[in-house]
Structure 1
Amino acid sequence: MQPLFCPIYHGCPIDRALEATIVKKIVKDATREAGLDPADIAAFSGHSMRVGAAQDLLPRGVDTAAIMRAGGWKSVNILRAILRRLNTMSGPRLHLRYG
């Protein structure tokens, strides 16, 4: 499986995943640019992207095993707890759009 985000060096992608600290910075910068309240920004992390993707995929009928592989979860119990929050979430959610 290829990384979702990779570093770019002199305009060329490098075949490795971004470091967690860089993903966290990108997420925090995006939430600030979206105009979210600073208290809400503190709740976002690089992990928010994995959780958000899982929560978006399940209602679309994507197989749980495929979601686990894509998100790197080894325990179905962890994924179940994350997806359970889908129906109880309130507050801001950041959606990244492509294209």
Structure 2
Amino acid sequence: MKIKEFLGCTVLDKNANVVGKVDNVDFNTETGKIENITLTLQKNIFSKDELEISFDDVATIGAYVILNKEIPKEADKEAEKAEAVEVEIEDEDD
């Protein structure tokens, strides 16, 4: 696979959930080995986040890049934050 085919490739986590697309590749100039890949995570039309993962976390490369680890979804992170908030209501005795 050529590097231009790798860039833009869809990335799936170990549970086959779409994580994002390959945006950039960092490699060691001395060894020529890929060290990290940067993924673009599409949140909505106007918002994108990036995630850098180690190339050691890549299980296979083919039609898709499949990771050997799970990447939590943003919705799951937001739900965790919402669950972590506690609200204390004071009872007023008249």
Normalising by the smaller structure, the TM-score range is under 0.3
Which structure has greater strand proportion? 2
Q: Which one has more relative contact order, counting CA pairs under 8 Å at least 6 apart?
A: 2
- Between structure 1 and structure 2, the one with the greater Rg is 2
TM-score by length of 2: 0.23
Quick check: which one's helix share is greater? Answer: 1
